[in-house]
Amino acid sequence: MSASPQDSTPLDPQTRRLVFAACIAAIFTSAVEGTIVATAMPTIVGDLGGFALLAWVFAAYMLTQAVTIPIYGRLADLYGRKRILFIGFTIFLVGSLLCGLAPSMLMLVIFRAVQGIGAGAILPVTLTIVGDAYPSIERVKVQPHIASVYAGSSIIGPVLGAFIVQHLTWPLIFWLNIPIGALAMGMLAVFFKEQPRIIKHNLDMAGAALLMTSLTALLVAMLQADKLGWWILLLLAICAVTYFLFLRVERRSPEPLLPPALWRDRTLLASNVGSFAIGGVLMSVSAFLPTYVQGILGGSVFTAGVSLSIMSFSWPVAATVGSRIMVRTTYRTTAVAGGIMLVIGTLMLAGLATVPVEINRHILNGWWPTAAAFVIGAGLGFMNTSLHISMQEAATAHRGIATATQAFMRMLGGTFGTAIVGAALNLNMAWKLPGVHDAVQTIMDPALREKVSAADINRLTGAIGDSLGNSFWLAVLLGIMGFITAWMVPHVRPGRLSEQSAKT
């Protein structure tokens, strides 16, 4: 049975602004989570060890978040936005508390999965609330504000993360979510009123379990490829079988996890595939660029934070500029412009492998990866704005699940972007540094670094730097995917997509 839109009590302008502010506060926790953790990861690895599990810290969070996003989106359509958001937010905050208490990298990965289970509600439900509150043309106007706060908080995240790990203690980067989340829930509890329609439903939990199993098997095969040997074939077989069963369940389910209608519409298909590419590029850069800046170029935690902040700064600026261009031109214009910038920026990162570390460190002064991050952020701002607005205009009757599916694809892209770059990095390092255990921890932990000769430090940093640069070529492929997908975006102005669909 299809979900029905929510019956919301009409909001006066002042109350609508307060609800919007609460949604922004909620989005802040999601935005700051990625960048503040990315900046702190080299320090956490130096403390806990387990660099081989670094990609899992991101992948476990994004995988559980991705799989639960469609479920939360469906539940929000059925039971009400606020109720479902509060349930997910509570799980997210409990996971945040546990992450700060993690005694090892393995336990941190497990607690990040708990975080992700709750985080699946935050982005899709808050964006759906905003979509309910504003008509299509107004959504174009508020989208830059959402992008600015979302990406602006990402500017604060790396710098704040750097300050915390340098002067305080790294668990605080997770505990920061708790007071902000409590504030957001309190504001929504007071100001957002709705009367949800409780309708008969049949949640696709079997589909969710099969998809989770399939994706987990594939991720394990990728991230542990350097250690599993022939066991990879068993994991790939499990992935294929469970994915086949998932497709069968989806065809028979009255309420599939990912409704087929969202993949038959050209606009929604472009939104979903493009979001996968955006998530892949974003996380493959966020997860590994701080390690390059700190471990290879010898920059401080603050310098690494600035590198990510530059990407987060160019994103909202580009979103603001792109939205104005989009109103005067078309959705496709801004999407293609963003795709071009993604390809250029990722090529700049991949070029790190062709520039010797010493030249990058002393002659280029480390500006190259920062410049690449700036271009990538601009591309993300242009492309994400076009994809999100066109999706919400095209999906009027099922905006909740369509928004959730787009967020799902972005998280899935981030999961696999991190996984493929992490897998390539681990394989590269196993080949370049045979028999060396936790090379990154060796160069990041001051106590371990003092025990290693200068020649060995140079050998380790050179090998890790080359491995990172080579791995970034996979981010280039994701950027090319985004550029190709951009040509599928409708060549119409905002507000006219629904008219064009009605005619056809």
Helix (H) or strand (E) holding 497: helix 497-503
55 and 183 share a domain?
yes
Per-residue pLDDT of the chain (504 residues; tens, 9 = 90+): 333 444 444 556 677 778 777 888 887 887 777 667 777 777 787 777 766 677 778 778 877 877 787 777 777 777 777 788 888 888 999 998 998 888 888 888 889 889 988 888 887 788 777 766 666 566 566 666 666 666 566 667 777 777 787 778 888 888 888 888 888 888 887 777 766 555 555 666 777 788 778 877 877 777 666 666 677 788 888 888 988 888 888 777 776 767 777 777 788 888 888 888 988 888 778 777 777 777 677 666 677 777 777 887 788 788 888 888 887 888 888 889 999 999 999 888 887 766 666 666 655 556 777 888 899 989 988 988 888 788 877 766 666 677 777 777 887 888 778 777 777 777 777 777 666 666 666 666 666 666 667 776 777 777 777 777 777 888 888 889 989 998 888 777 766 655 554 444
Alpha-carbon distance 490 to 390, whole Å? Answer: 8
pLDDT of residue 207: 76
- One domain for residues 276 and 140: yes
Residue 374 sits in the same domain as residue 433: yes
Residue 70 lies in a domain: yes
Output the pLDDT for position 270: 85
DSSP letter (8 states) at residue 292: I
Domain count, the chain: 2
**Quick one: pLDDT at residue 480?**
92
Distances (CA, A) of 478 to 330, 336, 421: 23, 14, 11
- Three-class SS of residue 195? strand
Pull the structure tokens for residue 356. Answer: 């010797």
Residue 371: its pLDDT value, please? 85
**Six-digit token pair at 430?**
């196993």
- 193, 228, 252 - which closes a domain: 252
Pair (143, 154) in one structural domain: yes
Predicted pLDDT of residue 226: 60
Assess whether 344 and 385 both reside in one domain.
yes
For the entire predicted model, the pTM comes to 0.69
C-alpha torsion sign, points 486, 488, 492, 496: negative
Residue 472 has phi, psi (to 5 degrees) of -70, -15
- Asked if residue 464 and residue 413 are part of one domain, the reply reads yes
Domain final position from 252, 285, 309: 252
Select from 227, 252, 277 the last residue of a domain. 252
177 domain residue, yes or no: yes
Amino acid at 414: G
Same domain, 199 and 209: no
Whether 1 maps to a domain, the answer reads: no
Q: Is the same domain home to 246 and 258?
A: no
Same domain, 124 and 192: yes
Please give the pLDDT value at position 484: 92
Q: What range defines the domain where residue 385 resides?
A: 9-204+253-503
Residue 411: which of 114, 62, 113, 115 has the closest Cα?
62
Residue 3 lies in a domain: no
Cβ atoms of residues 203 and 255 within 8 Å: yes
Cα distances from 30 to residues 157, 181, 207, in angstroms, run 11, 10, 25
The predicted structure's pLDDT at residue 399: 66
- The domain spanning residue 457 has which CATH number? 1.20.1250.20
Nearest CA to 58 out of 241, 211, 286, 377 is that of 286
- 4 within some domain: no
Q: Are 257 and 298 members of one domain?
A: yes
Are 220 and 197 contained in the same domain? no
CA distance 404 to 258: 9
In a domain, 58, yes or no: yes
Instruction: Please check whether residue 107 lies inside any domain of the structure.
Output: yes
pLDDT at 375: 92
DSSP H or E stretch at residue 8? strand 7-8
Give 104-140 as a DSSP string: SHHHHHHHHHHHHHHHTTHHHHHHHHHHHHS-HHHHH
Specify if 38 maps to a domain: yes
> Are residues 362 and 400 located together in one domain of the fold?
yes
CB 271 within 8 A of CB 388: yes
